[in-house]
A and B are shown apart, each in its own frame.
Chain A
Amino acid sequence: MTKKATSPKRAREQGEAAHEHKPGRCLEILQRLSAYIDDELASNVCEEIRRHLGACPNCEVFVESLRHTVTLCRHRPTPTLSPADRQTLRENILRAARAQARL
């Protein structure tokens, strides 16, 4: 991930060169962020990532936005089936099963 840039075009042109960390470090961090959020990494790797996040505001903002995304997915509202639909579906399934058994 690139550090602050004045425009998207300039950021793309500058790429990793604009970042104070060694090239590719932010991408390495990005690759592990789900495992980091899910607490699946060894403690020394977590510590390494935490140190990077402390030094790289953009990565820190990014990981928070990913965490929010996962939280939203986990709480996404879902409609439920009405008792009438539950009954209708059951009848449709049994009718289709009988029809197939006759073939």
Chain B
Amino acid sequence: MSTQPSKNPRDQASRATGDQRSQFDRIYRDHVDLIYRYANRLCGETEAAKDLVQETFLNAYRGFKDFRGDARISTWLYTIASRACLRMRRKKKGEPERELSLEEFVPTSEGEFRLQIPVDGLSPEEAFQNKELRQALDQAIEKLPKKYRMVLVLRDMEGLSAKEVGTVMGLNERAVKSRLHRARLFVRRELSARGITDGQSEESRATTPTSGGSYR
């Protein structure tokens, strides 16, 4: 019996397809939850997030042979997802991205300095039992122009370093930090403009401690 690899082109093609498939399965298994979470945070709704996951892994499947291994696979996938997300948005609307200036975030009245939301003395988990607060944050993030939202999501939610965010978005660290700051100021202003009540349900009020636990 020969141990020589087959020279039949069909066998070689089949083996190449098999290799590609097993590489894909490994990457998909290890990273699909990460990319779905990122997609959900970017898109804000389930169906669009699933579309983005499919688009991302389809591109990864096709492009794996070009992956040079000089970045982490997760960074590579974040990059593919971010590009796909920008493409999907352009297909939908095509409106130009708005630039945010620092001056627009300077408060002009007393009430704009603080958040009008009940968070004092609560842990973030306790604060998020307030449905109104969850919705206000989701809407604020959704209103952000996409390129600012991406930086905020990658840095403050996915926990990437400014350098890694720069690699994903093709920006230098200075530009990443500038966009991040404007994105945070935008979300702060949106939350500050909303008068959110202490909208805890009776059930959560009964189980949530009202004191102790610092909001940090």
Q: Is the CB of A72 within 8 A of B54?
A: no
Q: Which of B31-39, B76-84, B200-208 makes up part of the contact surface?
A: B31-39
Query: Which residues of chain B are within 8 angstroms of A26 by Cβ–Cβ distance?
Result: 106
- 4 cross-chain pairs, A with B, having the tightest CB-CB distances, nearest first: A8-B109, A75-B124, A34-B181, A69-B188
Known A-B contacts A80-B33, A81-B32; A68 and B115 likewise in contact (beta carbons under 8 Å): yes
CB distance from B184 to the nearest CB of A (A): 6
In the assembled complex, the Cα of A59 lies from the Cα of B27 at a distance in Å of 47
Query: Which residues of chain A are within 8 angstroms of B106 by Cβ–Cβ distance?
Result: 1, 26-27, 30
The answer, yes or no, to whether A85 is at the interface (CB within 8 Å) is yes
The answer, yes or no, to whether B134 is at the interface (CB within 8 Å) is yes
The answer, yes or no, to whether B70 is at the interface (CB within 8 Å) is no
Chain B 83-114 residues near chain A, CB threshold 8 A: 102-103, 105-110, 113-114
The answer, yes or no, to whether A70 is at the interface (CB within 8 Å) is yes
Contact residues on B (Cβ < 8 Å of other chain), bracket? 35 or more
| Contact string against A for B residues 113-154, beta-carbon threshold 8 Å, 1 for contact and 0 otherwise | 111000100001101100001100110010000000000100
Q: Is the CB of B107 within 8 A of A2?
A: yes
**A interface SS class:** helix
Query: Which residues of chain A are within 8 angstroms of B119 by Cβ–Cβ distance?
Result: 68, 72
In the assembled complex, the Cα of A84 lies from the Cα of B105 at a distance in Å of 44
In the assembled complex, the Cα of A1 lies from the Cα of B107 at a distance in Å of 6
Query: Which residues of chain A are within 8 angstroms of B137 by Cβ–Cβ distance?
Result: 72-73, 76
Interface on A for B, CB 8 Å cutoff?
1-2, 4-5, 7-8, 11-12, 26-27, 30-31, 33-35, 40, 58, 61-62, 64-66, 68-81, 85-86, 89-90, 92-94, 96-97, 100
Residue ID in chain B nearest A10 by CB atoms: B109
CB distance from A23 to the nearest CB of B (A): 12
Given contacts A27-B106, A70-B184, 20 further A-B contacts (CB under 8 A): A1-B106, A5-B109, A5-B110, A31-B181, A34-B177, A35-B181, A58-B113, A61-B113, A65-B114, A73-B152, A76-B41, A76-B157, A80-B33, A81-B32, A81-B36, A85-B50, A89-B32, A93-B24, A93-B58, A97-B61
CB distance from B114 to the nearest CB of A (A): 5
| Contact string against A for B residues 6-25, beta-carbon threshold 8 Å, 1 for contact and 0 otherwise | 00000000000000010010
Query: Which residues of chain A are within 8 angstroms of B152 by Cβ–Cβ distance?
Result: 73
Q: Is the CB of A62 within 8 A of B107?
A: yes
Q: Is the CB of B50 within 8 A of A30?
A: no
